[in-house]
Amino acid sequence: MNYRIIDRENYYRKGVYRHFTQDCKCSSSMTARIDVTDLVKYSKVTGTKFYINFLYIISKVLNSRDDYKMSYLWETDQLICYDTINPTQYVFHEDTETCTPVYSHYSEDRDTFYTNALRDIEYAKQRHEYLLDPANHPNWFDASYISWLSYDSLNIELPDGYLYFLPIINWGKYRVENNRFMLPLTVRMNHAVADGFLIANVFRLIEKEIENFR
């Protein structure tokens, strides 16, 4: 885990950061449907799992821009940017109706990521412990698939004033609309490090990655 400390006096979002960490501490989230038709077709043709392919695309997009890799160190009151962030995914156990967190490492190499994420999932299926360990996994973002519903909106609430900057990503079942597969996606970020443009940009970048996924 490597990171660099951001000089807040020269941070390009200096004024926004000050306002949303001092005057108005809040987060912002957006939900929209994205077209995943091409990725669904690719996954079926190649015999690969749509879920892992989509998780890779999310991870790639969030690692493509520093704004999505920001964090706050409470002990030293420092704004930092990680070199890499990794997805915390979840395995649902039908027998107990509980989840096990899965810490998967991001790799820019798609095959490496796929192999490792699949291994992590299979390992987690054998365990029923919650075992959430953020202290030892500080540069992991939350990536949760809500497989039971193609929802229209979702809100993730954190305590008022809690300066949690890493993205929280959720998505639901895709459904057919006008002969296209449309998937609900929710992106939550702290307003101190991301505004409407940066959050909306996640959706745009994901759709672009899907178009180029071969």
27-35/180-190 β-pairing: antiparallel
Span 85-97, average pLDDT: 95
CA atoms within 13 A on the CB side of 205: 18
pLDDT at 162: 85
The pLDDT of residue 1 is above 80? no
pTM of the model: 0.96
Of the candidates 130, 127, 104, 108, which has an alpha carbon nearest to the alpha carbon of residue 51?
A: 104
Domains defined for the chain, CATH in brackets: 29-211 (3.30.559.10)
pLDDT per residue as tens digits for the range 97-154: 999 999 999 999 999 999 999 999 999 998 888 878 888 899 999 999 999 999 999 9
Q: Does residue 128 contact residue 98 with C-beta atoms inside 8 Å?
A: yes
Three-state secondary structure readout of 73-126: ECCCCEEEEECCCEEEEEEEECCCCEEEEEECCCCCCHHHHHHHHHHHHHHHHC
Q: What are phi and psi of 148, to 5 degrees?
A: -95, -5
- What is the pLDDT at residue 131? 78
How many angstroms separate the CA atoms of 102 and 89, rounded? 5
Count CA atoms within 13 Å of residue 158 on its CB side. Answer: 17
**C-alpha closest to that of 70 among 4, 149, 134:** 4
The Cα 155–Cα 102 span in angstroms is 22
